[in-house]
Amino acid sequence: MTDRSIGHRDKRKQILDAAIRVFADHGYHRARVGDIAEDAGVAHGLLYHYFASKDDVLRTIFVENWGELIARFRAVEAADEPAQEKLVGIAKILLRTWRNNPALVTVMVREVARSQELQAQVDDVGEAFAIIQRVIEEGQATGMFRRDVDARLASWLVYGGLEEVLTGWVLGQLPDGEEDVARAESTAIEVALRGLAV
């Protein structure tokens, strides 16, 4: 029984993981349901047992993983730290996810973050920006960040800078060794903080 119920989860997880890899490699539209099934080592019909459609697979990837990211963002936001530190924390979360699961980041960055439909469907997308924005506003309120900068816009600038670094790694255009990632992290954080600093 337990065996069987674990089996369920297993196959579902296998499909999801395979989808992340395949979407990352070929892009959502070029990826075929058959490719995902093959990568997962299951018959393609099984995909429809766990998911309503190919689209639903992407949506699931997004919801399950973005939700986790947001949860960690929220934890940082709620922490009792100065705004600067919070921004550092958020940048670290974003960049380090890459090391854990590059394919996942690729999919999130390439397919989800730029898709109008998905963004419209899921409220969580804007939440990431909202958290960054609130942290910046907090910094402005406590006098650590300049007030003549629109916090909303700044959140997009900051997020964009970080995402582009991820993209550079995704595309293999920026070095992504252990040290490189660490250096990128501190550089990005410093530039951002100084840019916003009073």
Partner DNA sequence: GATGAATGAGATTTCATTCAT
Partner DNA sequence: AATGAATGAAATCTCATTCAT
Q: By CB under 7 A, is residue 24 in contact with DNA?
A: no
Q: Six-digit token pair at 139?
A: 């910094």
Please choose which of a copy of itself, DNA, none residue 32 contacts, taking the beta carbon within 5 to 8 angstroms, the exact cut-off set by kind: DNA
Integer-rounded Cα Rg, in Å, for the chain is 19
List Cα–Cα distances, 76 to 85, 131, 154, in angstroms: 9, 10, 18
- The DSSP code sequence of 128-169 is HHHHHHHHHHHHHHTTSB-SSS-HHHHHHHHHHHHHHHHHHH
Q: Does the protein bind DNA through residue 13 (CB under 7 A)?
A: no
2 binds DNA (CB under 7 A): no
Per the listing, tokens 């003549």 go with 148
- Selected binder of DNA within 32, 74, 96, 183 (CB under 7 A): 32
Partner touching 71 among a copy of itself, DNA, none, CB below 5 to 8 Å by kind: none
Tell which one of 27, 34, 143, 160 touches DNA (CB under 7 A): 34
Binder of a copy of itself out of 7, 8, 10, 27 (CB under 8 A):
27
Conformational region of residue 143, where left means phi above 0, alpha means psi within -120 to 50, and beta covers everything else:
left
Site size for a copy of itself (CB under 8 A): 47
**How far is it, in rounded angstroms, from Cα 194 to Cα 8?**
50
140-158 burial: b if 16+ Cβ within 10 Å, else e: beeebbeeeeebeebbeeb
**Binding segment for a copy of itself among 22-30, 31-39, 40-48, 73-81 (CB under 8 A)?**
22-30
Question: Where do contacts with a copy of itself occur on this chain (CB under 8 A)?
Answer: 27-29, 109-111, 113-116, 119, 126, 129, 148-150, 152-154, 156-165, 167-168, 171-174, 183-184, 187-188, 190-197
Question: Where do contacts with DNA occur on this chain (CB under 7 A)?
Answer: 3-4, 7-8, 11-12, 30-34, 42-46, 48-50, 53-55
